[in-house]
Amino acid sequence: MSLKKLSAAAMLVGATLAAQPSSAQDITLEFVVWNYALDTIQDNVRRFEEANPGIKVNVTDYTWPDYQDSLVLRFRGGTQTDLLYGGQDWLPAWASAGWIAPLDKIAPEGMIDTLSGEMAGFALSDVTYEDQVYGLPYYADTISFLYNSEILEEHGIEVPETWEDATAAAEKLKAAGMNRPIVYEYNQELPNFFDAFVAQVYGRGGDLFDEDLNAVFNQPDNAAYQHLEWLRDAFEKELVQPENHESNIITTMNTGQHAFTIVYNYVLAAMNNKAEQPLAGQFSLAPMPGEAHSTLGFAKFYAVTATTADDPERAEAAWKFIEFMAGQPYDVAKRWAVEHGLGFGQLPLLEDQEVREAWGEWVDMDVLSNQIENARAGTWTEWTAVWSAFFRPLLASAMVGEISVEQAMNDGAERWNTLREQFANR
Amino acid sequence: MWAIKRYPLLWLLPALLPVAAFIVYPVAYAFWTSLHQVMLLFPGEPFVGFDNYARVLTSSYFRTAFLNSVVFMLLAAPLVVILGVSAALFLQRRFAGSMLVRSVVLLPWVLPGAISAVLWIWVFHPSFGIINGVLLGVGAVDTPIQWLNTPRLAFACVLVAHVWTQIPFAVVLTMAALSAINSETLEAATIDCRNGWKRFWYVVFPEVKAMIVVLLIYNALIAFTTYDLVYAMTGGGPGTATTLLAFQIWRESFAMYDFGAGSALAFVMVAVAALLIVLITRALPSDLFGERP
């Protein structure tokens, strides 16, 4: 081949390539998650990529206990992150630091209002910071009081209405030979250790803070103070079987040696999973004991980083992803609900026949609906996550009698006030 | 000419650069951090002098963590050395299956701390753990013991797990020291003295005492700075029962995002550890590492 012909051929190939429309996988989004059901996450991502040629999504996962630290270090270190799982307790800190962006910045006009209108109240509250919506629910759930209905029936015990009833029931079971009837997730390193405590305080109708965000939990007549005394009493009477993780609670409750526990609803789904658990079907949800029967509702959500929201191309792709995962017709949220028993913030799914059938296998839907209606969002501030890390060991110490309830509550309140001042002056 | 005598520093650069990059710079940066307010959730890093040091030294957590660390070190280091030396003396003998036993004894050494922690969590588990299983089985207790959820017991459990992970290293070093003893000396001692303890004390111990002291110092430092088992087994709890200084550094830095306080605490820990080394070294007999007459 002559040099002229070779040059002409090269030019032709070059021109052809240049004339091609931009090829697939123009954008690769970095999506950071904690590693619950990673297979399902990957499969959802695969479906998204199939439906959206030109957008590729890399998934990076961390364990739940390490997630928050890892994300903060990613933000501070400038590691490329486009999309992430967010949590209600971290939102104020992350949003105020400018690390994540309100969804209005990337969603078509009016879309967030439409989707917000279909969200459970506590879920909407948990994805909102300073009147702006920062996420759409990946899942939303309540922390619930669960019991073994067969054990209660066998011993002629009514489902506890108050915490005093719960003590009486546990003491009756202990007298009948059951060692430690209440299984409790006791792990001061997990944020849910604090969340579960708040849920129980809400059951009593109390709160840890007043409307001006002053700490009031150190007042002896406060419900939180009284509840910590209740927990300490229950530990002292050896009514409580501590477990360090919810996965252990599933196994422990399925030994038939315990009657009560306080955990997320999806743990009830796992406890009642007939394919895996020997006592599946024996466990039921009851309204949280206490005068109010309220509980803590919370939402984990898909969020977008501020740097991605500022880049029009990436922002457009990121919105497509969030809408696919958590927007109408809520197929992915429904999948999590049906396959894993994860709660949802999208209220239309409560009426979905497929969801009701799947959930009817492990929970009384009417009791659950009441629970969701009664649930309250937590008090989440810019310093809550930091304070919670300080307060959880105090709670744990007081429960096992290492320090007094008064000391735990006073130290916790003092730290709350210090952090509040620090964050106000930062 | 590029003579070594004319450019000594230049020729040392290949060795000095990695030291500067991986030791001097991180330590200097950590010291800088300890003098600034480095809160990850806050913008800016203002200079605060020694405020971080004052804050961590006056906190109730520091007192608890410091005392826990000292007690942990005082218990762990002698235990590791006594058990390690005993195991080494036993393993030095030849018996059927001795190679297999030696391999099994070394097993904890190859396990990462987190794996060892998970293993011990299950050993101490109240419902499914082997210890409670045995105790309940032989009727020694009526109800399962809450090993990791009772403050004093949790501390003991972490101590047991830590000692278990450190014994193999003590065994290896002691066996190396034992193998250096003249076999004729040992044979003569066996003939002259039938009492095994006396034989150890008067013949073997003088030969391995330098190694034992090294092991004591090493294990004191390892125990004082231990972190991984605490993190994975108890998270410093229940409450503060197993919170050691190294764990508190992690908590200040990564749970409360206060890198300034975390760095200050790290320097305090280094200072205490350095002081310990000096005290232990001064307490040693001056002829310990000297030539034998």
Domains along chain B? 58-282 (1.10.3720.10)
Q: What end-to-end distance do the CA atoms of chain B give, in Å?
A: 49
Interchain contact B240–A (C-beta under 8 A): yes
Please, how many CA atoms are within 13 Å of residue B97, restricted to the half-sphere of its CB? Answer: 3
Could you report the predicted ipTM of this complex, rounded to two decimals? 0.82
Beta strands in A220-296 (DSSP E): 240-243, 260-264, 283-286
Interchain contact A189–B (C-beta under 8 A): yes
A12-16, A85-89, A217-221: range with lowest mean pLDDT:
A12-16
User: Closest-CA residue in chain A for B126?
Assistant: A241
Contact list in A for residue B41 (CB cut-off 8 A) is 72, 93, 97, 382-383, 386, 423
User: Which pair of tokens denotes residue B111?
Assistant: 């396990």
Cβ-proximal residues to A262 (8 Å cutoff; 6+ apart), any chain: A143, A144, A145, A146, A184, A185, A196, A199, A200, A288
Q: Is the pLDDT of residue B233 over 60?
A: yes
B6: confidence class by pLDDT, cuts 50, 70, 90: confident
Region A273-293 average pLDDT: 96
Region A236-252 average pLDDT: 93
Chain A / chain B CB contacts < 8 angstroms: 82
Q: Is the pLDDT of residue B27 over 90?
A: yes
Interchain contact B114–A (C-beta under 8 A): no
From A62's Cα to the closest Cα of chain B, the distance in A is 15
Identify the CATH assignment for A143-295+379-424 out of 3.40.50.300, 3.40.190.10, 3.90.1580.10, 3.40.640.10.
3.40.190.10
B293: confidence class by pLDDT, cuts 50, 70, 90: very low
User: Which pair of tokens denotes residue A134?
Assistant: 């920062």
Contact of A383 with A422, CB cutoff 8 Å: yes
The boundaries of every CATH 3.40.190.10 domain in chain A are 27-140+297-374, 143-295+379-424
Q: Is the pLDDT of residue A178 over 90?
A: yes
Residue from A207, A206, A214, A343 nearest A267 by CA: A343
DSSP three-state, residue B166: helix
Mean residue pLDDT across chain B: 89
Contact of B276 with B221, CB cutoff 8 Å: yes
Query: Are B238 and A188 inside 8 Å of each other by CB?
Result: yes
Cβ-proximal residues to A332 (8 Å cutoff; 6+ apart), any chain: A44, A324, A325, A326
Contact of A408 with A116, CB cutoff 8 Å: no
User: Which of A25-29, A292-296, B282-286 has maximum average pLDDT?
Assistant: A292-296
User: Which pair of tokens denotes residue A376?
Assistant: 């309250």
> Residue holding tokens 């009642």?
A272
From A132's Cα to the closest Cα of chain B, the distance in A is 20
A16: confidence class by pLDDT, cuts 50, 70, 90: very low
CATH number given to A27-140+297-374: 3.40.190.10
A21: confidence class by pLDDT, cuts 50, 70, 90: very low
Query: Are B238 and A186 inside 8 Å of each other by CB?
Result: yes
Region B84-100 average pLDDT: 88
From B163's Cα to the closest Cα of chain A, the distance in A is 23
Contact list in B for residue A389 (CB cut-off 8 A) is 251, 255-256
Rounded Cα gap, residues B219 and B75, in angstroms? 10
User: Which pair of tokens denotes residue A409?
Assistant: 């509550």
Interchain contact A4–B (C-beta under 8 A): no
pLDDT tens across B151-199, in order?
A: 999 999 999 999 999 999 999 999 999 988 888 888 888 888 778 888 8
Interchain contact B133–A (C-beta under 8 A): no
> Residue holding tokens 């206990």?
A65
| Nearest CB neighbour to A400, from listed B39, B44, B149 | B149
Per-residue pLDDT at B277 = 80
From B85's Cα to the closest Cα of chain A, the distance in A is 36
Per-residue pLDDT at B1 = 52
DSSP A338: H
A114-118, A264-268, B3-7: range with lowest mean pLDDT:
B3-7
Query: Are A188 and B149 inside 8 Å of each other by CB?
Result: no
Interchain contact B136–A (C-beta under 8 A): no
User: Which pair of tokens denotes residue B189?
Assistant: 């001692």
| Nearest CB neighbour to A396, from listed B237, B251, B257 | B237
User: Closest-CA residue in chain A for B143?
Assistant: A179
Cβ-proximal residues to B159 (8 Å cutoff; 6+ apart), any chain: B72, B75, B76, B79
A23-37, A49-63, A79-93, A190-204: range with lowest mean pLDDT:
A23-37
| Nearest CB neighbour to B239, from listed A241, A255, A397 | A397
Residue from B74, B83, B71 nearest B167 by CA: B83
Region B101-128 average pLDDT: 90
